Amino acid sequence: MTTLPTIPAGPVLDFIAATDRHDPDALFAVFAPNATVSDDGTTYAGAAEIQRWIHDHQIAPRITLDPIAYSQSGDGAATLIAAADGDFPGGPLPFAFDFTVDGGRVAALSISIAI
């Protein structure tokens, strides 16, 4: 039997919930105004680029996340390993989501294939 990770209330849990609901407004709300997202070799910075990333990489392919592991440190860093599935080839695939949280919002997110 697999034990699901405990993820505390806050922006990482909100990120998962908004992604799974395919809710672009709720997903955008987890990010700080000057946040950055690094995904698939590209860095997205600021509101307009992050909204485009949300649409193109989360909402349009109808991504859902199945958490596998979670860890956090006292300095606002958190790592989520999750199986991502959706309308893309080869799914589900395990991804590492490395969050930097500041002031209760995501200041930076880096996404890579989890090995």
pLDDT tens digits for range 13-48: 999 999 999 999 999 999 999 999 999 999 999 999
Residue 62 is encoded by which pair of tokens? 């109808």
Cα distances (Å, whole numbers) of residue 69 to 2, 34, 43: 11, 27, 24
CB 106 within 8 A of CB 32: yes
* CATH-assigned architecture of domain 11-113: Roll (3.10)
**pLDDT tens per residue across span 58-68:** 999 999 999 99
pTM equals 0.94
